[in-house]
Amino acid sequence: MLGALLGSQNAQKALLSLFVNRKCYASQLKRSLDISLTPLQKAFARLEKANIITSYLEGKTKLYQLNPTYPLLEELELLLKKAFMLLPIHEQKRYYLTHESGQLDFNSTQTLMMFWNKLCTIKHLIVQANTQYQQKKSKSEGKGVVTTSQDGCNTLIFKEKGLWKTDQNTSIDFHNTYRWTLDRNSGVLSLEHLRLGLSDPVFLFHLAPASPTALTSVDSHSCGDDTYYGQLFYESHFLRLHWRIIGPHKNEDIHYYYT
């Protein structure tokens, strides 16, 4: 759709990937979309020369992101969101890049159990949300407690309650109930929202090991016209659940920090 406007299909793919993931490196996108590296690198170079994107080094890896000072950034993000929403669901999924590590051979069962054992110890959470509605951006943060209970050896209920603070410094109570289910045979954790009760769960997604310290959603979750992706990271003393939500009226990153 945007290829003709940008003069390159690779430029379109590069920008869509940066919109969805906030940042990425060329070889990561090459593997996800199964495209040649050289033309992709040229597309990144042209976009960077035009100041539409910027790059920086993280270790020895060159990462790209949309240029936060680009004068038409808001208009560009709205256009990219529209183009993303017009893609078929299976194509949208390809643009969501999973966490990678240099360790290609790891014990996925061991990784799954490491996450499960950590989930069983969770007592507190901090939630940080970055939201863009139309052309307005906002940030909010919530803090709360998590009460856990087990229904059998493979099911864990999270009852979360706390207080949200918006960027206008207003406070709102929040309550959520989630159900985590461990499936050792399939090698996944499933996540459900229980806002309608235990007998009527809203399935969100399966999370499978993508690296020794990360689980990623096997499929996206659709809620109306909105698409949800998720990744769970094991980071030192806490778990971080990252939600990426894209829809006609949504462009959100939400991070749950569980301790």
Q: CA–CA separation, 245 vs 222, rounded Å? A: 10
Q: Quote the domain boundaries for residue 21.
A: 3-95
Verify that 9 and 128 share a domain, yes or no: no
| Tens of pLDDT, residues 134-153 | 556 788 899 999 999 998 88
**CB under 8 A, 24+ apart: contacts of 172-177:** 174/142, 174/144
For residue range 18-77, what is the model confidence (pLDDT) as tens digits? 998 888 888 888 887 878 888 888 999 999 999 999 999 988 888 899 999 999 988 898
Section 213-240 average pLDDT? 89
pLDDT given for residue 145 in this prediction: 97
pLDDT at 28: 81
State percent of the chain over pLDDT 70: 93
Whether 115 and 192 share a structural domain? yes
Provide the percentage of residues in the chain whose pLDDT is more than 90: 47
Work out the mean pLDDT of the chain and round it to a whole number: 87
Q: At 202, is the pLDDT very low, low, confident or very high (cuts 50, 70, 90)?
A: very high
pLDDT, residue 101, reads 47
- pLDDT per residue over 181-194, tens digit each? 999 999 999 999 99
Q: How far apart are CA 95 and CA 110, in angstroms?
A: 28
Are 160 and 213 in a shared domain? yes
How many folded domains does the chain comprise? 2
**CATH, residue 77:** 1.10.10.10
Residues 238 and 170 in one domain: yes
**Which of 26-40, 114-128, 192-206 comes out lowest in average pLDDT?**
26-40
pLDDT for position 131: 80
Residues 65-111 pLDDT 10s = 999 999 998 889 888 988 888 888 778 878 887 655 444 567 999 99
Residue 136, pLDDT score: 67
In terms of pTM, does the model score above 0.75?
A: yes
d(CA 174, CA 256): 14
What is the distance in angstroms between the CA of the first residue and the CA of the last residue of the chain?
43
pLDDT of residue 152: 83
- 91 and 116 belong to one structural domain: no
CA distances (Å), origin 21, targets 94, 95, 155, 220: 11, 8, 31, 14
pLDDT at 124 over 60: yes
**Amino acid making up residue 202:** V
198 versus 123: the higher-pLDDT residue is: 123
Same domain, 200 and 226: yes
Residue that terminates a domain, selected from 95, 121, 150: 95
What pLDDT, on a 0 to 100 scale, did the predictor assign at position 102? Answer: 47
Is the same domain home to 147 and 225? yes
Cα 20 from Cα 41, distance rounded (Å): 18
- Whether residue 230 is contained in a domain is answered as yes
Together in a domain, 245 and 130: yes
Is a pLDDT exceeding 60 seen at residue 229? yes
221-223 and 226-235 beta bridge pairing: antiparallel
- 219 versus 126: the higher-pLDDT residue is 126
